[in-house]
């Protein structure tokens, strides 16, 4: 199965995943510039109640310590490089929507969580949307093993209440990882519905 590993060809030359590089750079600069868990940027119920609504988005792009930042930014670089050639500009919109929707979920259904930061929740969204986009192209069931293994990992962490691979200053939130996967599935379903409607409109408008 020929995978293009994060880049496609344009005029015979490989196209680098510049969107992923840009997002990874921004996340890196956010950590270098603002440091660990910057109060003005993390998702915080108190801050949101005071009108600091940007933290609904920014909270997902800052990290609690250097290990947290390295793991998440490395994962963003790898996943983005694998999936960007299929998602293209959608990598921006889907991560933005995932940031907002996950924050709304945390705010509504996880009242015990007063503050949150990190890319891991929305990376699970990217994992689902990217893997399904590749599956739609190649129709190889092996591609669905990627989100399948992530689901198993997240469930283990949920029931054990302990991260498998990382130990960071702030505890892992496996519920957010599972919700991130659910948001990814929702975005795929919505995109498929819009695509079907668009094809129906074009077919109806096509002269016989």
Residues 6+ apart with CB under 8 A from 100: 56, 57
| pLDDT > 80? residue 195 | no
**pLDDT confidence band for 100 (50 / 70 / 90):** very high
Strand boundaries in the chain, DSSP class E: 9-10, 13-14, 43-44, 115-116
Q: Provide the whole-model pTM.
A: 0.86
> pLDDT tens for residues 109-120?
999 999 999 999
For residue 198, pLDDT over 50 is answered with no
Please tell me the predicted confidence (pLDDT) of residue 22. 97
Residue 154 CA to residue 14 CA, distance in Å, equals 34
Whole-number Å distance between alpha carbons of 187 and 10: 27
pLDDT tops 80 at residue 3: no
Please name each of the domains of the chain with its CATH number: 14-205 (1.20.1540.10)
Confidence at 205, pLDDT banded by 50, 70, 90: very low
Report the share of the chain in percent with pLDDT over 90: 75
Mean pLDDT over all residues of the chain? 88
User: Which tokens belong to 41?
Assistant: 């940027």
The least confident of 10-24, 93-107, 121-135, 150-164 is 10-24
Q: Which of 70-84, 108-122, 183-197 has the lowest mean pLDDT?
A: 183-197
């Amino acid at each position: 199965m020929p995978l293009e590993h994060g880049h496609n060809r344009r005029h015979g030359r490989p196209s680098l995943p510049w969107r992923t590089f840009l997002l990874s750079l921004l996340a890196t600069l956010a950590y270098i510039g603002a440091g660990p868990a910057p109060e003005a940027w993390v998702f915080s119920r108190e801050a949101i109640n005071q009108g600091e609504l940007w933290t609904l988005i920014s909270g997902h792009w800052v990290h609690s310590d250097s290990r947290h930042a390295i793991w998440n930014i490395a994962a963003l670089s790898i996943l983005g490089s694998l999936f960007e050639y299929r998602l293209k500009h959608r990598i921006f919109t889907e991560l933005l929507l995932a940031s907002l929707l996950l924050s709304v979920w945390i705010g509504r259904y996880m009242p015990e969580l007063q503050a949150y930061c990190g890319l891991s929740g929305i990376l699970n969204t990217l994992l689902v949307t990217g893997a399904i986009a590749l599956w739609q192209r190649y129709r190889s069931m092996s591609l669905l093993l990627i989100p399948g293994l992530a689901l198993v990992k997240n469930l283990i962490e949920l029931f054990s209440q302990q991260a498998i691979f990382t130990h960071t200053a702030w505890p892992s939130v496996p519920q957010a990882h599972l919700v991130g996967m659910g948001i990814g599935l929702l975005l795929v379903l919505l995109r498929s519905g819009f695509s079907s409607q668009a094809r129906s409109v074009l077919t109806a408008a096509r002269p016989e």
